């Protein structure tokens, strides 16, 4: 029996790295991609069934090239886990158009480029899973999030749209919405993060959701995400008031 294969972008650190190790330990072939080639090689050297495929997701042709390299090596991809993201809280307190463009270029269009690279393959194969990693920041608007939150909200909408488009070909679209996970990206935050969890915790939840369950969204920790889901249904006036109090936001 041939091993199953997962392709993970954003695989050099954080959730992507932890998930790569989890799948490798479960006996899968794992292809990891990111821009930082040295970090990828260090992981692949440590784990026999993890292979490094450096990638800049903002480069469309590079996405196609790397996808072809992975197919040539493994002959098959069962799950794609597209989790590339960027975030700079210091630049999100004001409207920095160039910064927002860069965030969308990486978070939204980088993910879209990755999906486009595998679209024909999965639709022809008529099976498999494409995973889009979003965030709880995509549920509703938050203070000091002029680029990151909107980019994740766009991914939520994209995942819902693709659910129908790929569903016709029996391909599962899965949305992952993590809460606060301790990664190099969240280390930039200058506020206390409630229910902060480890990348290994996230990897366990994601593995279980992808392999053992079939729901559209994998979100965790539930103690945080369920509160935010309830908040997202509130009328604007109540939502703005509650979030304002929680974040100590005040009108000038």
Superfamily covering domain 5-246: NAD(P)-binding Rossmann-like Domain (3.40.50.720)
Which residues, in sequence order, are CB contacts of 34 under 8 Å at separation 6+? Answer: 9, 10, 11, 12, 13, 16, 40, 54, 55, 84
DSSP-H helix ranges across 47-198: 60-74, 97-107, 109-125, 148-167
Whole-angstrom Cα distance, residue 164 to residue 9? 23
Q: Characterise 195 by phi-psi region: left (phi > 0), alpha (psi -120 to 50), beta (else).
A: left
Whole-angstrom Cα distance, residue 47 to residue 55? 19
Q: How many helices (H) and strands (E) does the chain have?
A: 9, 7
Global confidence as pTM: 0.91
Instruction: Report the side by side order of strands in the sheet with 79-82.
Output: 50-52, 29-33, 5-9, 79-82, 129-133, 172-178, 217-220
Quick one: pLDDT band at residue 109, thresholds 50, 70, 90?
A: very high
Residue 234: is it exposed, middle or buried by C-beta count within 10 angstroms (0-12/13-18/19+)?
A: middle
Indicate the SS3 state at residue 175. strand
pLDDT of 63-93, one tens digit each?
999 999 999 999 999 999 999 888 676 676 7
Quick one: pLDDT band at residue 185, thresholds 50, 70, 90?
A: low
Which residues, in sequence order, are CB contacts of 19 under 8 Å at separation 6+? Answer: 8, 11, 81, 83, 202, 203, 206, 207
Give me the mean pLDDT over the 132-144 stretch: 89
Whole-angstrom Cα distance, residue 105 to residue 57? 9
Give me the mean pLDDT over the 99-123 stretch: 97
252 pLDDT more than 80:
no
Give residue limits of the domains in the chain: 5-246
pLDDT of 23-55, one tens digit each?
999 999 999 999 999 999 999 999 999 999 999
């Amino acid at each position: 029996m041939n091993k199953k294969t997962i392709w993970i972008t954003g695989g050099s650190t954080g959730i992507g790295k932890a998930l790569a190790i989890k799948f490798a330990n479960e006996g899968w072939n794992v292809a990891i991609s990111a821009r930082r080639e040295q970090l990828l090689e260090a992981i692949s050297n440590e784990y026999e069934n993890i292979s490094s495929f450096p990638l800049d997701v903002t480069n469309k042709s590079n996405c196609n090239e790397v996808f072809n390299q992975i197919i040539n090596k493994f002959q098959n991809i069962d799950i794609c886990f597209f989790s590339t993201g960027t975030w700079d809280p210091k630049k999100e307190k004001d409207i920095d158009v160039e910064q927002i463009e860069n965030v969308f270029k990486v978070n939204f269009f980088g993910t879209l480029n990755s999906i486009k690279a595998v679209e024909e393959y999965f639709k022809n194969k008529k099976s498999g899973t494409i995973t889009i990693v979003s965030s709880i920041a995509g549920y509703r608007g938050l203070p000091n999030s002029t680029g990151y939150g909107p980019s994740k909200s766009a991914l939520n909408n994209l995942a819902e749209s693709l659910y129908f488009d790929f569903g016709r070909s029996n391909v599962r679209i899965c949305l992952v919405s993590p809460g606060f996970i301790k990664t190099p990206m969240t280390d930039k935050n200058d506020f206390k993060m409630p229910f902060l969890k480890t990348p290994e915790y996230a990897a366990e939840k994601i593995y279980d959701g992808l392999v053992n369950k079939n729901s559209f969204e994998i979100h965790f920790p539930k103690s945080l995400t369920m509160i935010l889901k309830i908040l997202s249904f509130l009328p604007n006036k109540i939502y703005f008031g509650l979030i304002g109090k929680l974040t100590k936001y005040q009108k000038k």
